[in-house]
Chains A and B, each alone.
Chain A
């Protein structure tokens, strides 16, 4: 599969602080790649280096076959950027912002006009085309910024916290648009704090901590790698004593939660079989039994050194 982004040995320091420390990764054509990390981990610095906003100290960035350091203008022509802070021009109207972007991306007046009309319609902003952006709500601004990033039909889209601070409706609108764009073949590099968003959208995620890229894989595989965190939830009609549970094979930890027992185990198969045998022996009907995979939140917390539930 072709790589759309190839990053090798990328480093950025600010004085004594290493914001990004020799990271290397690639993003494949057509995928949604989530870039996760705690505050100050180096996500935005990495994203800004990839989009040519700041220059790295060392390393190499190749975007759609173009070296970002050698041909930044050519590379930038091929992607769109939605930064964390909505940065449409507040003193211009939505229409003027879109047409300005069209000019910056070298579109002809007719093409920019056609695209602007279409994007305003798709993003539900046609009625507000002639209004200055400073009168827009946060959701409207974010939709406009996304529209501005799409005016030249980029093959690659960089988004930094695109739904941060938005209401549920605006968030869902933007997420569904991202899915739709991805279905049309647009590769998406998504920087986010939102684990649900990353879990539901991303084909692969990279996790950065203190400037180091500490994990990179699909969300499901990352969850699987944290094997000791496999959990089983069981609820029975009767009293199941903790003393009997802890002596079952493969059990690491047992916790009571409402009418359920949450059992952490290193081998799900053995534990489930022994639980079922125990319930049979004790003549306790099983109300429910579920295996619970770690969430991406838990994976993230464990990998970044946060507290895992």
Chain B
């Protein structure tokens, strides 16, 4: 593939992302899992008994918000398009499967970034000032890409019923929230929880966010970034390979 072809396909991926933003941001399952659920979880957490500093809270809030929002849009797109037969249209157009997948990832990431930026603003109002802004913003972008890939990975099973995927996605997302250092610091988790935390990309994003606010983290920040980047690459490759296999089964 030469540069011109890559540029053309990148433009088409952005066109697909624009279409996704117009169509899927307002779908009820997206609003429920991407907006309402993190709000309710956060409120429930605030009303808990454990007093924690704002800097700890805001890092967890950002992690949870980014994770829920960036995985809210991507799982519904493929089942929805399969059901509406619009996927057949996309495949018959001069668009590589990778462009369709990246387009969906971009739309999902933007949703996550925008709502997490709002959460960042709420943190500012609450008096949470980051020490490392550039690091935090870069981590939000990288985390959004990584989590949107997780979202698309959840939609690999070739069902045309978006609700099935939303159920699967909820079953995967909730346990990760509780073992990734958002509500409970990793060192306070039981041994099994700590093991799972290590294989959750959310752990590393939350650790970067916490470092950005407090200057302290469980892992060195370069490890957090490296692992998050590695997860993003591996998940993206997995998404492309698996969706290429299941895409024809949706037609």
User: Among B16, B95, B96, B251, which residue has its beta carbon within 8 angstroms of that of A54?
Assistant: B251
Stretch of A73-81, A121-129, A238-246 contacting B (4+ beta carbons < 8 Å): A73-81
> CA A244 – CA B11 in complex, angstroms?
78
Interface residues of B in 8-56 (CB under 8 A from A): 8-9, 11-12, 15-16, 18-19, 22-23
Q: Which B residue sits closest to A145, measured CB to CB?
A: B89
> Contact size class for A?
20 to 34
Interface assignment of A22: CB less than 8 Å from any CB of chain B: no
Q: Which B residue sits closest to A102, measured CB to CB?
A: B15
User: Among A53, A74, A81, A103, which residue has its beta carbon within 8 angstroms of that of B15?
Assistant: A103
Interface assignment of A153: CB less than 8 Å from any CB of chain B: no
Interface assignment of A106: CB less than 8 Å from any CB of chain B: yes
Interface residues of A in 96-143 (CB under 8 A from B): 96, 100-101, 103-106
Q: Which A residue sits closest to B14, measured CB to CB?
A: A103
Least distance between B103 CB and chain A CB atoms (Å) = 10
Max chain B C-beta neighbours (<10 A), residue from A52, A74, A100: A100
Please, which residues of chain A bring their CB within 8 A of the CB of B23? 89, 91-92
Main secondary structure of the interface of A (DSSP, over half): loop
Please, which residues of chain B bring their CB within 8 A of the CB of A101? 93
User: Among A74, A83, A88, A100, which residue has its beta carbon within 8 angstroms of that of B92?
Assistant: A83
> CA A85 – CA B86 in complex, angstroms?
9
Interface assignment of B190: CB less than 8 Å from any CB of chain A: no
Least distance between A98 CB and chain B CB atoms (Å) = 12
Please, which residues of chain B bring their CB within 8 A of the CB of A83? 85, 88-89, 92
Least distance between A60 CB and chain B CB atoms (Å) = 19
User: Among B5, B8, B22, which residue has its beta carbon within 8 angstroms of that of A92?
Assistant: B22
> CA A73 – CA B6 in complex, angstroms?
12
Extra contacts, 16 of them, besides A87-B88, A88-B89 (Cβ < 8 A), are: A53-B92, A53-B248, A54-B248, A73-B9, A73-B96, A76-B95, A83-B89, A88-B86, A89-B23, A92-B19, A100-B15, A100-B18, A100-B19, A104-B90, A104-B94, A106-B12
Q: List 17 A-B contacts (CB under 8 A).
A: A53-B91, A53-B251, A76-B92, A76-B95, A83-B85, A87-B85, A87-B89, A89-B23, A90-B84, A100-B18, A101-B93, A103-B12, A103-B18, A104-B15, A104-B16, A104-B95, A106-B12
Residues in A lying within 8 Å of B, measured CB to CB: 48, 51-55, 73-74, 76-77, 81, 83, 85, 87-92, 96, 100-101, 103-106, 148
